[in-house]
Amino acid sequence: MTVQGLAASRIWVAGHRGMVGGAVARRLEAEGCKVIRAGRDVVDLVNQRAVNVWLAETRPDAIVLAAAKVGGIQANDTRPVDFLYENLMIEANIIHAAHECDVERLLFLGSSCIYPKMAPQPIPEDSLLTGPLESTNEWYAIAKIAGIKLVQAHRKQYGRKWISAMPTNLYGPGDNYDLQSSHVLPALLRKFHEAKVRGDKEVVVWGSGKPLREFLHCDDLADALVFLLQNYDDYEHINVGSGVEVSIRELAETIAEVVGYDAELVFDDSKPDGTPRKLMDSSRLHALGWNNIRSLKDGIRSTYEEVLKNGF
Ligand code: GFB
């Protein structure tokens, strides 16, 4: 049984098929860990009994809980049951089974949307539960807040050395490029690429283009998470952001530059803007000694290269 420096530990990455889980699995393998992967055909994460049985047989040293139902603003806004129910079930089942099986370390992943819509900016960890949530993603946010609390409850009642990290808006290889359910960065990358291929004069951007967002490459997140598994053991969740925010209009302009196509931006105000601003205060993480962040343009460039090679 090992975990301390992580090397040679057996770590279950729940959600390895997703963008974040995939990045975490790659990063842990580079650290010398044995990564355990289990697809839906092996264990159904919304079924408590199935998770209990599988985990009791598998007995990992640690779990990175990256499995979740995720999506962009429209998916969140139109499928509240999926985002609330599935996420509650997945996290509760895994966390409960981890306790039953006495798993030493667990890292739960949340999201920056857990914070109040009008939280102070940059958003410190202690602004959690200080005000109303943004309505387009309150379902997902409530599920993720419950996950943080479940981890804290296990620390408090059973002394578990389990932690939670809250990443900002993410992008990178393995992202979802479906234009209805994706997040803004992959959506605009695809829209600009297809506009270039077709020679379109316009690209449609949802909302006003004014909301501000912070973006982090999933490989940078994975690096931060490995750092946290090695260096962080605290009751409070911890923010993981890049510290750089851009407006959606600026994001579209940067993507246009990377793709190399100058189309007119048409703003579709029938689509929601969501939270006006969502910049996280990641100073606690930086004070611990992690600050390994690539620039947004470099990250978009390598992501675009990847989709040109492997397709959307
Ligand atoms: O990335 P996104 O879907 O999610 O949208 P959130 C961010 C902003 O980009 C919104 C605008 O103001 C969108 O209206 N936008 C412009 C677009 N064009 C597009 C487009 O083509 N597609 C998309 N998707 N957006 C999500 C939450 O919020 O962030 C989740 O719903 C989660 O719960 C995730 O927390 C990180 O940043 O608004």
Closest alpha carbon to 298 in 263, 266, 267, 257: 257
User: What pLDDT score was predicted for residue 8?
Assistant: 82
User: What pLDDT score was predicted for residue 1?
Assistant: 54
The residues carrying an active-site annotation are 140
**Segment 176-234, tens digit of pLDDT:** 999 999 999 999 999 999 999 999 999 999 999 999 999 999 999 999 999 999 999 99
**Segment 18-53, tens digit of pLDDT:** 999 999 999 999 999 999 999 999 999 999 999 999
pLDDT at 175 over 90: yes
Name the residue with the closest Cα to ligand 1, atom 16: 206
Burial class (CB in 10 A: 0-12, 13-18, 19+), 180: exposed
- Token pair in block for residue 62: 């640690």
Closest alpha carbon to 172 in 134, 139, 219: 219
Phi, psi of 161 (to 5 degrees): -90, 55
Ligand 1 centroid to Cα of residue 112, in Å, is 12
User: What pLDDT score was predicted for residue 81?
Assistant: 98
Closest alpha carbon to 58 in 19, 95, 10: 10
pLDDT band per the 50, 70, 90 thresholds, residue 272:
very high
User: What pLDDT score was predicted for residue 43?
Assistant: 98
**DSSP bridge pairs for 165:** 109, 238
Residues with CB under 6 A from ligand 1: 72-73, 76, 111, 113, 136-137, 140, 169, 182-184, 187-188, 205-207, 211, 213, 248, 271-275
Compute and round to an integer the Cα radius of gyration of the chain. 19
pLDDT at 4 over 70: no
Tokens 């994706």 -> residue: 182
pLDDT at 154 over 90: yes
Output DSSP code: residue 273: -
User: What pLDDT score was predicted for residue 6?
Assistant: 85
- List helix spans (H) across 159-295: 184-198, 218-231, 248-259, 283-288
- Token pair in block for residue 268: 């579709």
Instruction: Identify whether the C-beta of residue 31 lies closer than 8 Å to the C-beta of residue 6.
Output: yes
pLDDT at 2 over 70: no
Instruction: Identify whether the C-beta of residue 179 lies closer than 8 Å to the C-beta of residue 193.
Output: no
pTM over 0.85: yes
pLDDT band per the 50, 70, 90 thresholds, residue 5:
confident
Specify the ligand 1 atom closest to the Cα of 71: 30
